[in-house]
Amino acid sequence: MKKILVVEDDNTIHKIIEDILKKEHYIVISAYSGTEAISIIENDNIDLILLDLMLPGINGEDIVKKVNKTLPIIVISAKTSSVDKAKVLLEGANDYITKPFEKIELLARIQVQLRISSNKNKNLKYKEIELLEDNKTMKIQTNKIILTRTEYTIMKELLLNPSKVVTKTRLLDLMSIDSENCDESSLKVHISNIRKKIRKITQVEYLEAVWGIGFKIKE
């Protein structure tokens, strides 16, 4: 069953959403503040987030930026202006529903985002490298490499953009979901550790540093 995080500080609306989801056999995880939501995202395997924008602690827009497209997010908000919608969608939200909402529309939009996410979460391959989604490991030829959560996040982003430079800022934003220790020094350590693990299998240098910008997968 899919696990959905509901981030809503209004108890009445929260309960309505929770009841709708449970009747459809979704597993519901509840958060009533942005701070609580971030803690859950960092420590649990969530499939989708239903997110209010006006929250105590960390607001919804900051959560969207922090998650940074690593999880599907459907914003459910009383803000109805096109400017508000466009802003949060451009920041990384996948969909936007205004309050009050219809049950049938909410469920349909959830199903669409879960389907899109499922299609995205297939194993990533590039030359000899295969990133295995199920157990968060990397395979080179027939050899499996155990990655830390942060190493997996870095490799996934690089393999999603095999011919592009991924900026240090982008990688640090993704790392911040898993760890509070997110600076350029820690990024370099993680890159170095990934390189060492790859070198145990092959002498091919897959990770290339682009000075002053970020990193890329060598073509």
pLDDT tens-digit readout, 148-197? 888 999 999 998 888 789 999 989 888 887 666 778 899 999 999 999 99
Q: Cα(32)–Cα(30) distance, rounded to whole angstroms?
A: 7
Contact criterion met (CB below 8 Å) for 184 and 172: yes
Most confident of the ranges 47-51, 66-70, 89-93: 47-51
Question: For position 108, what pLDDT does the model report?
Answer: 96
Q: Cα(72)–Cα(218) distance, rounded to whole angstroms?
A: 29
| Radius of gyration of the CA atoms of the chain, in A | 19
Residue among 192, 209, 10, 218 at smallest CA distance from 100: 10
Give the number of C-alpha atoms closer than 13 A to the C-alpha of residue 123, restricted to the C-beta side.
Answer: 15
* Structure letter (DSSP) for residue 183: S
Question: For position 160, what pLDDT does the model report?
Answer: 86
The structural domains of the chain, ordered by start, are 3-120 (3.40.50.2300), 124-217 (1.10.10.10)
- pLDDT at residue 8 above 90? yes
Q: Does residue 118 or residue 19 have the better pLDDT?
A: 19
Question: For position 210, what pLDDT does the model report?
Answer: 92
Residue among 197, 208, 117, 198 at smallest CA distance from 161: 208
Q: Give Dmax over CA atoms of the chain in angstroms.
A: 58
Residue among 103, 56, 95 at smallest CA distance from 73: 95
Q: What is the per-residue pLDDT across 99-141, written as a single tens digit (0 to 9) for each?
A: 999 999 999 999 999 988 776 656 788 888 888 876 778 888 7
Q: Cα(41)–Cα(167) distance, rounded to whole angstroms?
A: 23
Q: Could you tell me the two tokens for 94?
A: 């996948």
Q: Cα(26)–Cα(3) distance, rounded to whole angstroms?
A: 6
The pTM score is 0.58
